[in-house]
Chains A and B, each alone.
Chain A
Amino acid sequence: MPAAISKRKALYEWKIYLFLVPSLLLIGIFSYAPAFSTVYHSFFRWSGGDAKEFIGLANFKNILADKVFWNSFVTIGILVLANMVKMVPSIFMAVCIHRLKSERWQYNYRVLVVLPMIVPSLVVLFIWKFFFDPTQGVLNHFLDATGIKGFLVDLDKLFHWGVFFADVPIAWLGTPGLIIPSLIIWGFPWIGAVGVLIYLAGLQSIGTEVYEAAQLDGVNSLQKFWCIEFPLIMTQVRISLVLLVIGTLQSYGLQYLLLGGNGGPGQKGMVPGLWMFSKAFAAGEFGYACALGLFLFVFILTLTYLNNRYVRVDK
């Protein structure tokens, strides 16, 4: 913890604080004012504009009875877990790049990993939507060409899933039972550029003496990962985890684009953010949407606190 300084010392060069004013002002206007507005409007029946009616805690009471909202947490829970698993390929890729002997090739691979970031995320979403198209999509063509479709149909007959049929193209986004698998498949092979760079930064900060000592002890590649690299990048993993949980809970763009505002058939793809968005912009219930947003904020804050409190980095 930094040592405390006296007030006189802190204000000695008071003019330099003025340099902070523009930034604070912008943060206040664009980040904190909307947040306070959300808190304020969550106590109103408000459909946008200046007309509103104070209804106390009614919006929050309605949340308690909102089945769609609560069900959406099941979907988001599955997606958070899936996204945690999806961290593995990024860690694996970072370790592979880190272990390359040639610095030039390390650089080349870093560039290759970062390159897809140039493609706008909306374009990526549209490409994936096209992948899932039942008649023209790449995914169904691939499954047909490789014979995997037949295997899936056999599995379906065995387990009675009722989603894969022999003569019917697979409706990835049109069958309730395939919505969550589709959302999980999305982004395959799940190598996120930001994640790789974060882990790589952590790996590069490991001193060469640690590797040399491990080599003297005769550790193999797998042991090197489990006993040295993974524990020493846990700080980065924890940061990724926090960002991932917050990002997954807040995001709804993927679901909106792939499945529409209702979350697809059976609302299987409904996530809290999408429900909040639909309530605000489709139903015009801005006040209720603010209450949902506030609830989501508290939920994310609690998860972040628990993550910071209990996911320990023990080096």
Chain B
Amino acid sequence: MRERILNTIGIGLLAVCFLIAIARIVFIRFQSKSSVDGSKVVELRIAHWQLENGPRAAFEALANEYSRRHPNVRITQIPIPERIYGNWLVTQLVGGTPPDLIQLGIGMNDERLARFFTPLSELADRPNPYNDGTPFEGKPLRDTFADGMQGGYYPNLVEFYGVPISGKSFRMFYNLDLLREITGSERVPQTYDELIALCKRTQEYAAEKHVRMVPIAGSKYNGGILMQALFTSQTQKLRERLTPTGMLVTPASMLADRLLHKQWSLDTPDAKSGLTLMREVAQYMQPGFMQLLRDDAMLLFVQRGAVMITTGSWDATSIRQESPFRIGVGSIPYPAPDHPVYGRFTYGSIADAEGSNAGTVLGIPRDTKHPEETRDFLQFLGSVPGGQIWTDRSGWIPSVMGTKTSPDAAPFLPNPNGYVAGFSYLEGGADVGGIVDSNMHNLVSSYGSVDRFIAATSKSYERAWVSDLQRNRRAQADIVQRSDTQVASFLWLARKHPENAEAQHKADIALQGADASERTLIYTNMVLNSKANNTAP
């Protein structure tokens, strides 16, 4: 009898849970399908990896404001952890089920952009209606961004594919309380030598007080930012030498060509000096930091396990909220040209304003079910009112001109003083990255050295550049093939309707894009053939 009662209660509970679940689904579906005025509701999904404190609240505020202006549109965020974002995105794109608006960057390359995303060059040339009533009324969208919307421009494709909604800069964050304890002052290092002196003093302090503490909180992510920045300070002059035209632009195919023709290698004095710098700072991070994640480094810093951490402006809000101590912010101290050891390869500090400082760049996939609404929402995000909401709520630096920066974000505004950065050892692609990653322990660990790293990578590094170049060639060929169809259709439209200025404009843009893609493909082919024949390209 008792068993029967218990069974009945169990089945009853199951039935109640099932009914509640059904009711909840029906309620949510009903809620998402109808708006206040009874019209059909459009739901836009926006995917991003900004899980830091601030941006999610900013996206929420922007979504609410947009829904207030457009009651038939609802916006849902899909925050995906950075670590799996690339894989997740590729799966969504390949499967044909992408969200309506996607943050560009991780897992993205020219081939995927050209294949899965909508070009936004036309949108960039049009005035943004959401800027009406602001000083930018009537101006093309691209002219309303601090970087001219370069963060969303892809030179190999000669197209805009994204709209940057925030800016970024790299900074060193200091635990001011700890800094005072260790040095007796809160002055943050201004030069490279001061940085090293602080690191040494911190190690002495940790030994004196018997505390587990490292000077710099490292991880593959945070340590990588600092080490790459220092490396690129040493390849400034090398980059200039490799580009005799003085353009100071070195695409991967050009760097590969110069590498394959022995004009540079990791053994070149400039690059070697960069590696030496990397090794020097790595000694002040925790052992094995290259296997640690960004969260591990952050945890170490906020738990007073390190005096400083290098990261981007996007982490400022999280660090301030989570640290039980005062935070100081400073620029990355690069070696100056008069530095006795590292000065000969550098022109000086790298300017923040070099290139684009776009932080969060959003693009529209071709498979979106609501292209019009998504374009409109993107225009809102890239407007002065949208930019202001974003900056106020996220605490991040703005990308849209005319928006006021909050005092907290002021230290992160790009510093225009300085020089163009050199190139990084990682620019080849996935295979180059893999070789460097798997051999990095030879450089940064206590048993490592610059020579050991160079010896370990000497053969595979060059091979990886070639295999990355071959992959790029295949991707470029796909892009050319795809753009040929587009060019043909736009040209046909333009010839059939010569009076249609828009068709002419589209044909021009498509032709420019196709030209650039073919140029890249031909150059890549030449580099690979010259490698095979051992001749100059």
Chain A residues at the B interface, C-beta cutoff of 8 Å: 45, 47-49, 51, 133-136, 162, 165, 168-176, 258-260, 262-267, 278, 281-286
Cβ of B292 to closest chain A Cβ, rounded Å: 7
Q: Nearest 7 A-B pairs (CB), nearest first?
A: A174-B288, A171-B288, A48-B94, A265-B441, A173-B291, A171-B287, A281-B87
Whether A284 and B90, one on each chain, are in contact in the complex, defined by CB atoms closer than 8 angstroms, is: yes
The answer to whether A176 and B441 touch across the interface, beta carbons within 8 angstroms, is: yes
Whether B126 is near chain A, meaning CB under 8 Å from some CB there, is no
Whole-angstrom distance between the alpha carbons of A134 and B116 in the complex? 42
| CB atoms of B291 and A264 under 8 A apart | yes
A48-B93, A136-B300, A168-B446 given as contacts; is B430 within 8 A of A282 (CB)? yes
CB distance from B242 to the nearest CB of A (A): 27
Neighbour of B438 across the interface among A45, A173, A265, CB < 8 A: A265
Chain A residues closer than 8 Å to B289, beta-carbon distance:
134, 174
Residues A282 and B86 in contact, CB atoms below 8 Å apart: yes
When the two chains form their complex, are residues B438 and A266 in contact, meaning their CB atoms are under 8 A apart? Answer: yes
Taking a contact as CB atoms under 8 Å apart, the answer to whether B438 and A169 are in contact is: no
Q: Is the CB of A51 within 8 A of B115?
A: yes
Task: Say whether A265 contacts B291, CB under 8 Å.
Answer: yes
A174/B287 in contact, CB under 8 A: yes
Q: Which residues of A contact B287 (CB under 8 A)?
A: 134, 168-171, 174
Does B375 reach chain A (CB closer than 8 Å)?
A: no
Look across to chain A and name the residue whose beta carbon is closest to the beta carbon of B89. Answer: A281
Cβ–Cβ < 8 Å partners of A286 in chain B: 94
Q: Are A262 and B434 in contact (CB under 8 A)?
A: yes
Chain A residues with CB under 8 Å of B475's CB are 47
The answer to whether B288 and A175 have CB atoms under 8 Å apart is yes
> Which residue on A lies nearest to B471, using beta carbons?
A283
A162 to B291, CA, bound (A): 18
Determine whether B474 belongs to the interface, using a CB cutoff of 8 Å to chain A.
yes
User: Can you spell out 12 A-B residue pairs with CB atoms less than 8 angstroms apart?
Assistant: A48-B93, A48-B94, A168-B287, A170-B287, A171-B287, A171-B291, A172-B288, A174-B292, A265-B439, A266-B438, A278-B434, A284-B111
B115 touching A135, Cβ below 8 Å = no
The answer to whether B212 has its CB under 8 Å from any CB of chain A is yes
State the CA gap A1–B3 with chains docked (Å): 41
* Contact in complex: A171, B445 (CB < 8 Å): yes
CA–CA, A260 and B94, complex, Å: 23
Residue B158 lies at the interface, judged by CB distance under 8 Å to chain A: no
- A283 and B286 CA atoms in complex are apart in Å by 30
The answer to whether A175 and B441 touch across the interface, beta carbons within 8 angstroms, is yes
The secondary-structure label for the interface of chain A is loop
* Bound Cα distance A136, B86 (Å): 29
Q: Chain B residues with Cβ under 8 A from A173's Cβ?
A: 288, 291
User: Which of B93, B286, B289, B299 has the most chain A CB atoms closer than 10 A to its own CB?
Assistant: B286
Q: Tell me the bound Cα distance from A51 to B446 in angstroms.
A: 48
What separation, in Å, do the CA atoms of A285 and B472 have in the docked complex?
A: 12
Q: How far is the CA of A170 from the CA of B288 in the complex (A)?
A: 8
Cα of A258 to Cα of B290 in the assembled complex, Å: 11
Chain A proximity mask over B85-109: 1 for CB below 8 Å, otherwise 0: 0110011011010000000000101
B181-227 at interface with A (beta carbon < 8 Å): 212, 214, 220
**Any A CB within 8 A of the CB of B280:** no
Residue of B nearest to A176 (CB): B441
A262 to B434, CA, bound (A): 6
Most chain-B CB neighbours within 10 Å: which of A48, A170, A174, A258?
A174
- The answer for the CA separation of A67 and B440 in the assembled complex, in Å, is 19
| Any A CB within 8 A of the CB of B437 | yes
B359 touches A (CB below 8 Å)? no
From A133, A165, A169, A265, give the contact of B292 (CB < 8 A). A133
With both beta carbons as reference points, the residue of chain A lying nearest to B441 in the complex is identified as A265
Query: For residue A282, which residues in chain B have a CB less than 8 angstroms away from its CB?
Result: 86, 430
Chain A residue, CB-CB nearest to B217 = A135
A134 close to B288 (CB less than 8 A): yes
Taken together as a complex, chains A and B put the C-alpha atoms of A68 and B220 apart, in Å, by 22
Q: Does B305 contact A (CB under 8 A)?
A: yes
Let me know if A162 and B447 touch, CB within 8 A: yes
What separation, in Å, do the CA atoms of A285 and B299 have in the docked complex? Answer: 35
Do A165 and B446 contact each other (CB < 8 Å), given the known contacts A45-B474, A171-B287, A174-B289? yes
Task: Give complex CA distance A293, B455 in Å.
Answer: 33
- Bound-state CA distance A67–B87 (Å) is 24
- With a cutoff of 8 Å between Cβ atoms, the chain B residues found around residue A278 in the complex are 434
Give the shortest distance, in Å, between B216 (CB) and chain A (any CB).
12
A171 to B446, CA, bound (A): 10
Partner pick for A136 among B90, B112, B305, B447, CB 8 A cutoff: B305
Within 8 A of A (CB), among B464-491: 471, 474-475, 478
A135 contacts B441, C-beta separation under 8 Å: no
**A68 closest partner in B (C-beta):** B434
Give CA–CA (A258, B296) in the complex, Å.
Answer: 12
Which residue of B111, B299, B305, B437 is within 8 Å of A47 (Cβ)? B111
Chain B residues whose C-beta falls within 8 Å of the C-beta of A165 in the assembled complex: 446-447
Bound CA–CA A228/B220 (angstroms):
53
